[in-house]
């Protein structure tokens, strides 16, 4: 009776609570069965104990039964929080004296600081009794078994293939993502490669002016209305190592995200993450930047959302490896001045929010809650863009860009206005004085031009163009 009872409980725990078989040693009888479940850094283990032998034995034997499994598991999971359920099965009734003797065991468990819930299942009574527990049963194992055990069919207990039950449960619950072709992941990789090759054929992907020409994130131009750069910059890479690193990361991370969320949602998550990354960089970094890093961090945000929604599946598939990888990348970005960490963090946040707004593959896209979240996403992007534009339209870089733009149009009054505004934000920028000298000279004021050039050379004595220009004016 007991072996089939254990088989039924094991089947129930696999199917209902997603506790799966843990093969720590060869299974010679039912009391060797151990089930486990992981939720982030918390790991739960459940085993069965021969009650006739356990209850009637000495305290030392009882300790050894509990401690052997505990020490083995703890050795393999030094940095995880471990919780144990142990179910004592009896094929008879129990006495009060037998339960009283377990008080010493409970005292020892507390001293050893073992997180243990000890349950008793007298098979004839169809009950589950909690003998003692020193942790909260957040997985509701006790209540689930208390409901199930009285309904176990004693008369017609069939034999079970527990491995097949586990395989089927993993597939039905989403632990096995299945196999399919990753069209969009490879399409995005191909776009990145082809655009990089095209840029290399027409110039150099490490040349700043070439990068700006082909759509890199450059704050003055975005503030001037070239908003497309928030998207185009995520398909541009600065040199071959940058391209290879991001291509590898997209290949590794993109496949499962495309499976979990579906191809259409995957594309939306990727693009929104990239835009959030560009906006993060636009708001907080003045440096020119490009690359798919923001979108790739958005894919990490997609994994985190998956972990929040499906912690057991996430933990079983990835453990803490992805979280550790994310932390390492952020720390590395914070300690390396050449990495645009604002784009990374922006992309991570954008990816998480996009997944929240869209949901998993086959989940409805346009529910009331999701429509509100999608509107929130759009409003956040618009607000960030508006704030960024206001910020950068008051920077010296923006005034320099606008001034040069007006110079090319021979609009000297508007150009002067921009250069003077730039000086109010950065009075030590020699470029503004040089351009003001150029305007003064072309408006017939050589003395004013000379004064501006002298100020230019005061701030930048090595400016050969200013020296030559000043010499030409003085020789007239």
Neighbours of 14 (CB within 10 A): 22
Bridge pairing between strands 42-50 and 34-39: antiparallel
Q: Determine the pLDDT at residue 23.
A: 86
Tokens of 267: 């594309």
Sheet holding 20-21, edge to edge: 20-21, 34-39, 42-50, 81-90, 116-122, 129-133
SS3 86: strand
Catalytic residue among 293, 392, 396, 399: 293
Tokens of 330: 């952020």
Rounded Cα distance between 161 and 291, Å, is 50
Rounded Cα distance between 188 and 194, Å, is 10
Neighbours of 461 (CB within 10 A): 10
Domains of the chain: 2-173 (3.40.50.10670), 183-367 (1.20.1540.10), 396-474 (1.25.40.10)
Q: Please, what is the angle between helix 2-17 and helix 141-148, to 10°?
A: 130
Q: Is 273 a known active-site residue? A: no
Residue pair 350/299 in contact (Cβ under 8 Å)? The answer is no
Beta bridge mates, 48:
87
Please name the residues in contact with 354: beta carbons below 8 A apart, sequence gap of 6 or more.
268, 269, 272, 273, 298, 301, 302, 377
Q: Determine the pLDDT at residue 436.
A: 94
Q: Determine the pLDDT at residue 26.
A: 79
Catalytic residue among 5, 237, 344, 399: 344
Q: Is 344 a known active-site residue? A: yes
Along the 476 residues of the chain, how does pLDDT read in single tens digits? 688 888 899 999 999 999 999 987 777 788 889 999 999 889 999 999 998 888 888 889 889 988 888 888 888 888 889 999 999 998 887 777 778 888 888 999 999 899 999 999 988 888 899 999 999 999 999 999 999 988 887 655 567 788 999 999 998 888 887 666 678 999 999 999 999 999 999 999 999 999 999 999 999 999 999 999 999 999 999 999 999 999 999 998 999 999 999 999 999 999 999 999 999 999 999 999 999 999 999 999 999 999 999 999 998 888 777 777 777 777 776 666 677 889 999 999 999 999 999 999 989 999 999 999 999 999 999 999 999 999 999 999 999 999 999 999 999 999 999 999 999 999 999 999 999 999 999 999 989 999 999 999 999 999 899 888 889 888 87
Residue from 390, 377, 322, 315 nearest 351 by CA: 377
Q: Determine the pLDDT at residue 214.
A: 95
């Amino acid at each position: 009776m007991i072996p089939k009872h254990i088989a039924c409980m094991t089947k129930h725990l696999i199917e209902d609570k997603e506790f799966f078989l843990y093969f720590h040693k060869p299974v010679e009888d039912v009391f060797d069965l151990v089930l486990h479940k992981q939720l982030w850094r918390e790991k739960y283990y459940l085993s069965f104990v021969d009650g006739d032998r356990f209850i009637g034995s000495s305290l030392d034997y009882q300790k050894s039964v509990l401690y052997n499994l505990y020490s083995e598991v703890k050795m393999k999971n030094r940095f995880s929080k471990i919780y144990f359920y142990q179910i004592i099965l009896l094929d008879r009734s129990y006495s009060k004296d037998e339960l009283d003797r377990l008080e010493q065991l409970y005292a020892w468990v507390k001293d050893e600081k073992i997180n243990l819930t000890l349950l008793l299942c007298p098979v004839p009574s169809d009950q589950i009794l909690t003998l003692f527990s020193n942790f909260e049963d957040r997985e509701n194992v006790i209540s689930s078994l208390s409901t199930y055990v009285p309904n176990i069919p004693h008369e017609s207990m069939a034999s079970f293939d527990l491995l097949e039950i586990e395989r089927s449960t993993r597939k039905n619950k989403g632990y096995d993502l299945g196999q399919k072709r990753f069209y969009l992941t490879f399409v995005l990789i191909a776009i990145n490669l082809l655009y990089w090759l095209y840029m290399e054929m027409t110039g150099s992907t490490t040349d700043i002016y070439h990068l700006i020409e082909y759509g890199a994130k450059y704050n003055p131009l975005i503030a001037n209305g070239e908003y497309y750069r928030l998207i185009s910059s995520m398909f541009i890479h600065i040199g071959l190592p940058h391209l290879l690193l991001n291509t590898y990361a997209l290949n590794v991370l993109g496949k499962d995200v495309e499976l979990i969320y579906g191809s259409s949602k995957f594309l939306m998550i990727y693009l929104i993450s990239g835009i959030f990354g560009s906006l993060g960089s636009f708001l907080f970094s003045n440096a020119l930047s490009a690359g798919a890093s923001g979108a790739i961090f958005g894919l990490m945000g997609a994994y985190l959302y998956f972990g929040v929604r499906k912690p057991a599946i996430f933990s079983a598939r990835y453990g803490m490896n992805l979280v550790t990888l994310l932390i390492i990348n952020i720390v590395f970005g914070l300690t390396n001045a050449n990495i645009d960490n604002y784009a990374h963090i922006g992309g991570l946040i954008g990816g998480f929010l996009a997944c929240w707004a869209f949901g998993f593959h086959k989940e409805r896209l346009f529910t009331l809650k999701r429509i509100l979240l999608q509107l929130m996403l759009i409003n956040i992007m618009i607000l960030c863009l508006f704030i960024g534009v206001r910020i950068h339209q008051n920077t010296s870089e923006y005034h320099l860009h606008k001034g040069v733009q007006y110079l090319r149009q021979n609009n000297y009054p508007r150009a002067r206005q921009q250069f003077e505004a730039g000086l109010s934000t950065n009075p030590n920028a020699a470029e503004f004085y040089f351009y003001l000298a150029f305007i003064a000279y072309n408006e017939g004021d050589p003395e004013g031009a000379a004064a501006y050039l002298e100020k230019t050379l005061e701030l930048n004595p090595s400016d050969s163009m200013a020296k030559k220009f000043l010499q030409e004016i003085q020789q007239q």
